[in-house]
Amino acid sequence: MMSGLRSSVPAFAAIMFAGSTSAADIASVRPIGFSSDGAVFAFEEYGIQDGSGFPYANIFALDLNKDTYLPGTPFRVRLEEDGATIAKARWQVHNDADVMVETHELANHPGELVAFNPITEIGTDPHQLRYRSVPALPPVGEANTLVLEEVPQPLDPQCEGIVEKTVSLRLRFTERNGKPVDDMVHEDQRIPASRGCVTGYRLAGVVTGSSLEGAPVEVALVMVLSAGFEGQNGRWIAVPVKTTP
């Protein structure tokens, strides 16, 4: 699994805002879209870096068939000069990624955010989402239940003294179209170094698109929680989710 962390309707951006405080770096996330054939998905994350206070913005593009980054990606910007702003960091990273976004026509296929569970939500299970894949009224189709499981892993020597334990992630469906199932859709083979000293995960959203043949494509948005200077940091990865067993 390649971890990845990935314009512009203000209301949509507001919905996608995951929250940030001066006590930690909880990145905001915004899907950019799918390619016309459903093989590529890109998203943006941005925020203020914990400790340094530098604004940053990253755009990640995934080959969903291979579950890897597209060549030449991700695009990362961190501004370290006085007076730097998140707006400037986001403008710069979008400028850097513009050719990639246009080449794959991502803005023409923004997809649908069919489930979202931000870190500010109270009283919800951070490791489970129950949703329908089609945004429609009257409802189309039955419920899907996607579950994230944290799997204990040996502690990386670089994280000793920083965290007490670390975990990889596993995703599985316990319900598809209203029927009980036990379908594994992803299991980490290792914890990528880019995740840092991981303390946990949050299953935070599902974005749907469609393939060239019209078949549905889904991507799970997962927040990676890791040790920060002043609390836990939250960054984003996208995990391809096959919609059929």
pLDDT higher than 80, residue 37? yes
Summarize pLDDT for 192-244 with one digit per residue, the tens: 988 989 999 999 999 999 877 777 899 999 999 998 887 889 999 999 997 65
Output the pLDDT for position 244. Answer: 59
Q: Which domain holds residue 181?
A: 10-241
Determine the average pLDDT of the residues in 17-41: 79
Query: For the ranges 6-15, 50-59, 223-232, 234-243, which has the lowest average pLDDT?
Result: 6-15
Percent of the chain with pLDDT strictly greater than 70:
89
**Residue at 17 is within a domain:** yes
Percent over 90 (pLDDT), the chain: 79
Does residue 106 lie within any of the structural domains?
A: yes
Bridge partners, 218 (sequence order): 208, 241
CA distances from 116 to 69, 127, 160 (A): 23, 12, 33
Assess whether pLDDT exceeds 90 at residue 33.
yes
Match 């000793």 to its residue by tokens.
Answer: 160
Give 228 or 188, the one with higher predicted confidence. 188
Asked if the structure places residue 2 within a domain, the reply is: no
> Given the structure tokens 């023409």, which residue do they identify?
108
pLDDT, average across residues 139-153: 96
For residue 233, being part of any structural domain is answered with yes
Mean pLDDT over each residue of the chain, to the nearest integer = 88
Q: Within a domain: residue 226? A: yes
What would the two tokens of residue 81 be? 């000069």
Query: Of residues 19 and 67, which shows the higher confidence score?
Result: 67
Place of tokens 């096959």: 242
DSSP 94: H
- 15 pLDDT exceeds 70? no
73-108 pLDDT, tens digit each = 999 999 999 889 999 999 999 999 999 999 999 999
Tokens 């490791």, residue located: 127
Q: How many CB atoms lie within 10 A of CB 155?
A: 15
In a domain, 1, yes or no: no
> What is residue 215's predicted lDDT score, i.e. its pLDDT?
79
Beta-sheet strand order (sheet of 144-153): 128-131, 144-153, 166-176, 179-187
The answer to whether residue 220 is domain-embedded is yes
Beta bridge partners of 227: 232
Q: Which residues pair with 235 in a beta bridge?
A: 224
Per the domain annotation, does 4 fall within a domain? no
The number of angstroms, rounded, from the C-alpha of 28 to the middle of its chain's C-alpha atoms is 10
How far apart, in Å, are the Cα atoms of 150 and each of 37, 110, 128, 205, 238?
32, 30, 12, 17, 16
In this predicted model, what pLDDT tens digit does every residue of 218-231 receive, in sequence order?
999 999 999 888 78
How many independent structural domains does the chain possess?
A: 1
Taking alpha carbons only, the member of 111, 110, 117, 126 closest to residue 205 is 117
